[in-house]
Structure 1
Amino acid sequence: MPTKRHIATVMELNWPYKRHYEIFAGIQEYARDHAHWSFDLGNYPEFQLANGVHFDGILGRISEDCLAAARDAAIPVVNVWFGSPVFSKVPGVYVDFGAAGRMAAEHLIARGLRRLAHFGYRGDPASEQHYQGMLEVAREHDYPCTRHMVSSHYDESRDQWMRFIESVRSSQAGWQAPLGIVFNGDELCRSVASACITMGWTIPEQLAMVGSGNEILICNAIDPTLSSIDMGYQRCGFEAARLLDRLMQGAPPPTKPLYTPPKELVVRRSSDVFAVSDPHVAQALRYMADHIGDTLSVPSIARFVGLGRQSLERRFKRHVGRTINDELIRLRVERLKRLLVESDEPIKTVSVEAGFGTTVNMHTMFKRHTGMTPKAYRKNHGPRPATVP
């Protein structure tokens, strides 16, 4: 049995945040399967260190005081708090907010949205990374993506709430339906959705919305229920624990922050729409999105919606702006990009999962759309596993 180690785990479990509990669950999972650890869950291990308590490592939401005390005691530390003031000074493992922004944008574009917007928190690094990921996809398609930022304290008093409502109202001045809106947080998504419904907007017909975090109680607390990205915080905790274990064994720290990909986008009613006026085209888009990993062809799609091929082609071109085959390729490329980022499966395997019939065809289409090979894309964008070489 490995040597038992005593770990200070700073996760602020007194706050009812899913992300805190899921990260700790991932830490526990690693310790159960790969290590022999005991935990101290106090939020201020620097005070315990000052009073003679021994820790073999510290893991969690690392503050400046905690890091200073750990360095004085020569204890390895791993941070999981993206907004920590010591982010650049300490090894860390984080969920990939940029990948989440990209995932949300790709989902909305696949649903026919051509105008996008982003809501995040002012001065928040996670919101910035989230927005940049979304903007990257919007620019690839040459679609507009407006940005709206609010205070993270927008609901802490009546005055702050009223300023928030006025901010949402003023943001709407430039909106044109249908619009896809992405939020770096489910509570912010719920608050804006509630305000917009009160102001007369319909969701998802006019405003399609995607949150972040997949906080189920929040997502289901409003009608329509909120689509959201499950960020995969448990994996983040597992990989952070793995990194701390290596550091305690004397491995050198990584030179860059390590990231874990989001788990999945959970589609609920707030984005369950296809933003085209032609019902046959909308039906075709839904069928393609739901079956993109299958063997699809233009004739089979036309048969499914009950139209002749040429008739559907004309309608599709008029409402979507490209051919059915072009849309099939775009969806497959987007799915393959996500699989390359989220998985370390062989490229041939994920190519089949993305719906490409042959690897040769996939390489040609992928390079045409991205300007790089799948191998180069995986190297540049992911997966960014939270492991140390």
Structure 2
Amino acid sequence: MKKNYRIALLFNANKAYDRQVIKGVGEYLQATQCDWDIFFEENFCTNLAKIKDWVGDGIIADLDDPEIKLLVSTLNIPVVGVGGSYENEKDYPNVPYIGTDNKNLVETAFLHLMDKGLENFAFYSLPDGPTNRWASEREKAFNAMLTREHYSGSIYKGNRTTAENWQYDMNRLADWLQRLPTPIGIIAVTDARARHLLQVCEHLELMVPDKIAIIGIDNEELTRYLTRVSLSSVGQGCKAMGYAAAKMLHQKLLKPVDEALSANNQAASTAQAVQHPRIIIPASKVFERQSSDFQAINDPLVIRAMHYIRNNAYNGIKVDQVLDHLRVSRSNLESRFKDERGHSVHQEIHNAKLKRACQLLNSTTIAIAEIPDLCGYPSLQYMYTVFKKDIEMTPKEYRMINLLE
């Protein structure tokens, strides 16, 4: 008779990372139609005090949480762990494990910034602590990249922000940012930390990405909507991790009992540690948006013009407004733009509007009829004409193609 398994998920789904892992578990269940009853607290957080009394067949757990890691070590049912990767082999838990490749995540972000032509780098991390070991691994990876590529850099840990210390911490972050050389590329250990950088840069009038290019890690959907400048981010393969964890647990549950007992007895008799399976999942890709769209420009006037255009093109500005803002003649700015950018100021405004329209079509569900007004186009018909001429498809066709990718 086919058994119905009871599986507990020990995650705190207030984190983007955990939510994506859980989605991956769900994708495995949908794909295989396996008979699992999933136990998950209704508030999507783990109640450690009660889980000890839970009677079930298996667990998938976030073992970056030291309390959860300690708890599962006392249980006598199959456990598959999910968490970060580690430089030191001894730091891995003694259970089957699916890890996110911390080194690869940072290398991917670093190379993205390097490819932009940047030569100064910094890393905004988290304070040391038992729950932040994965962040420490990312710091190590950043330092390793600096050494490998022969650059120097800066790391700022800050504090874990709360309502009480928020303003103090943002002031200290501002102090650090103002001491950094520019132009510079900054990797934030998470998208949440990247959001701090974007907000402080705006208050300090530090131009992003012209002076400070920023990239986070997570590609967290919610964070993208909480800042005026859209955030570039490295996507973790979290859904792939959840899928692999569910598959690994399923295989363990289906393994014949006598075979499992034999393996355990053999391990005990030889007094050697069990070699559990382990899979490390690399970064998915860089999701490039405005915050890291750095272009190596030497002329400070063109840099200021580019920053003004990026932030105001969607207001329907014309070349005259750019000139008024900079207090410079048209011939002067056009000549310098031609030298640095190879095209006119008008073309730069046009490109900025089109890029914003593409971004809104690609990453939001905003009705197409509303997008022209958000991008500075005079009408929907005008936007359609621009798309047909520049992209050779309609806005609707562009959105559909990107939805399929």
Instruction: Tell me which interval the TM-score lies in, with the shorter structure as reference length.
Output: 0.5 to 0.7
Measure, in 2, the Cα distance between the counterparts of 1:224 and 1:207.
12
Q: Percent identity?
A: 20
Residues 2/118 of structure 1: CA separation in 2 closer, same or farther (3 Å cut): farther
2:62 is matched with which residue?
Answer: 61
Does the aligned pair in 2 maintain the 1:60–1:78 contact within 8 Å?
A: yes
1:5 is matched with which residue?
Answer: 5
- The 5 Å alignment of 1:68-217 reads 73-82=75-84, 88-123=93-128, 124-152=132-160, 154=161, 156-158=162-164, 160-217=165-222
Give 3-state SS (helix, strand or coil) of 1:180's partner.
strand
Residues 105-149 of structure 1 deviation map (CA, whole Å, 9 limit, x = unaligned): 000000000010000101121222222223333322212221110
The one-letter code sitting in structure 1 at the alignment partner of 2:112 is H
Does the aligned pair in 2 maintain the 1:204–1:270 contact within 8 Å?
A: yes
**Unaligned regions of 5+ residues in structure 2, if any?**
86-90, 264-273, 304-338, 340-405
Residues 142/58 of structure 1: CA separation in 2 closer, same or farther (3 Å cut): same
Give 3-state SS (helix, strand or coil) of 1:79's partner.
strand
Structure 1 residue 5: Cα displacement:
1.1
Residues 59-87 of structure 1 deviation map (CA, whole Å, 9 limit, x = unaligned): 1225666566655552011222449xx95
Q: Does 1:44 align with 2:47?
A: yes
2:283 is matched with which residue?
Answer: 262
Structure 1 residue 206: Cα displacement:
0.2
1:325 is matched with which residue?
Answer: none
Does the aligned pair in 2 maintain the 1:46–1:69 contact within 8 Å?
A: no
Give 3-state SS (helix, strand or coil) of 1:112's partner.
coil
The one-letter code sitting in structure 2 at the alignment partner of 1:275 is A
Measure, in 2, the Cα distance between the counterparts of 1:165 and 1:218.
17
Residues 60/71 of structure 1: CA separation in 2 closer, same or farther (3 Å cut): closer
Measure, in 2, the Cα distance between the counterparts of 1:73 and 1:205.
53
Does the aligned pair in 2 maintain the 1:184–1:212 contact within 8 Å?
A: yes
Q: Between Structure 1 and Structure 2, whose CA radius of gyration is higher?
A: 2
1:239 is matched with which residue?
Answer: 244
2:27 is matched with which residue?
Answer: 29
Give 3-state SS (helix, strand or coil) of 2:76's partner.
coil
**Unaligned regions of 5+ residues in structure 1, if any?**
283-314, 316-389
Measure, in 1, the Cα distance between the counterparts of 2:6 and 2:49.
14
Residues 227/37 of structure 1: CA separation in 2 closer, same or farther (3 Å cut): same
Structure 1 residue 38: Cα displacement:
1.3
The one-letter code sitting in structure 1 at the alignment partner of 2:93 is S
Does the aligned pair in 2 maintain the 1:101–1:132 contact within 8 Å?
A: no
Give 3-state SS (helix, strand or coil) of 2:157's partner.
strand
Measure, in 2, the Cα distance between the counterparts of 1:48 and 1:122.
29
Give 3-state SS (helix, strand or coil) of 1:221's partner.
coil
Measure, in 2, the Cα distance between the counterparts of 1:237 and 1:177.
39
Structure 1 residue 200: Cα displacement:
2.3
Structure 1 residue 272: Cα displacement:
0.8
Structure 1 residue 180: Cα displacement:
0.2
* Equivalent pairs, count: 274
Does the aligned pair in 2 maintain the 1:112–1:276 contact within 8 Å?
A: no
Give 3-state SS (helix, strand or coil) of 1:121's partner.
coil
Give 3-state SS (helix, strand or coil) of 2:245's partner.
helix
Does the aligned pair in 1 maintain the 2:219–2:233 contact within 8 Å?
A: yes
Residues 139/46 of structure 1: CA separation in 2 closer, same or farther (3 Å cut): same
Residues 311-368 of structure 1 deviation map (CA, whole Å, 9 limit, x = unaligned): xxxx9xxxxxxxxxxxxxxxxxxxxxxxxxxxxxxxxxxxxxxxxxxxxxxxxxxxxx
Residues 220/238 of structure 1: CA separation in 2 closer, same or farther (3 Å cut): same
